[in-house]
Amino acid sequence: MHSSVIWENLNGESFRRVRSLIESHHTTFGGVLCGLFLKMVAWENEVAWECTHPMQRAEFITSQMRSGVNRIKEFEDSAPALSEI
């Protein structure tokens, strides 16, 4: 949505705002991807699929994965919107 607006009324200020938005989201994307990667590594290390009971996998998801994914969501939600820049 924001990227289409910049082309309708392209000027230096609107370009700087979109550039700032993109730059600010680099950190967000990096944080989210890092968090997801770490959760997947923890899954592989803690829950060997062929060696664990389904209840052990469910326990890992509810105790470890859910809280981490909630933290990732909080980080993502904290990223500034175009209107804030």
Mean pLDDT of 33-48: 81
Calculate what percentage of the chain has a pLDDT beyond 90: 0
- Per-residue pLDDT at 85 exceeds 60: no
Question: At 71, is the pLDDT very low, low, confident or very high (cuts 50, 70, 90)?
Answer: confident
Contact between 67 and 59 (Cβ < 8 Å) = no
Domain range summary for the chain, segments of one domain joined by +: 2-84
What was the pLDDT predicted at 1? 47
Mean pLDDT of 58-84: 74
CA dihedral 7, 8, 10, 14 (to 10 degrees): -90
